[in-house]
Amino acid sequence: GDSVTQMEGPVTLSEEAFLTINCTYTATGYPSLFWYVQYPGEGLQLLLKATKADDKGSNKGFEATYRKETTSFHLEKGSVQVSDSAVYFCALSVPNTGNQFYFGTGTSLTVIP
């Protein structure tokens, strides 16, 4: 079935460090891929998305490239800030299942000054 596997957390980084959060997927169809971010006490917000192979989604310094050959959508940021501390969720939706969304378990990131 369709599913997302993302890197276990928690992740703790120093400010200005490089961030990678791994995400791989399994899909029966041709999925769209998303990264959502959840700040403490709030709902999920869309961070970026990619809808076809080799697309790169980017926002607020974060990037992720849709890699069909490795079924991956890893999230990266070159220099994290304290304000990036949050939980990050990788997700996919597959049109031929009625656009159901499947989420990973979330990766908690803490950035320390």
Using CA of residue 49, residue 55, residue 59, residue 64, what is the dihedral sign? Answer: positive
Least distance in angstroms from the C-beta of 58 to other proteins: 15
92 forms part of the interface with other proteins (CB under 8 A): no
102 touches other proteins (CB under 8 A): yes
- Cβ(77)–Cβ(26) under 8 Å? no
Residue (19 or 66) nearer to other proteins, CB: 66
Closer residue to other proteins (CB): 36 or 111: 36
- Cβ-based nearer residue to other proteins, 17 or 63: 63
Question: What are the backbone angles phi and psi of residue 95, rounded to the nearest 5°?
Answer: -55, -35
HEC profile of 40-78: CCCCEEEEEEECCCCCEEEECCEEEECECCCCECCEEEC
105: contact with other proteins by CB under 8 A: yes
Task: Quote the least distance from Cβ 15 to other proteins, whole Å.
Answer: 25
Q: Name residues contacting other proteins, limited to 50-79 (CB under 8 A).
A: 51
Cis-peptide into 95, omega within 30 deg: no
Least spacing, CB of residue 16 vs other proteins, in Å: 28
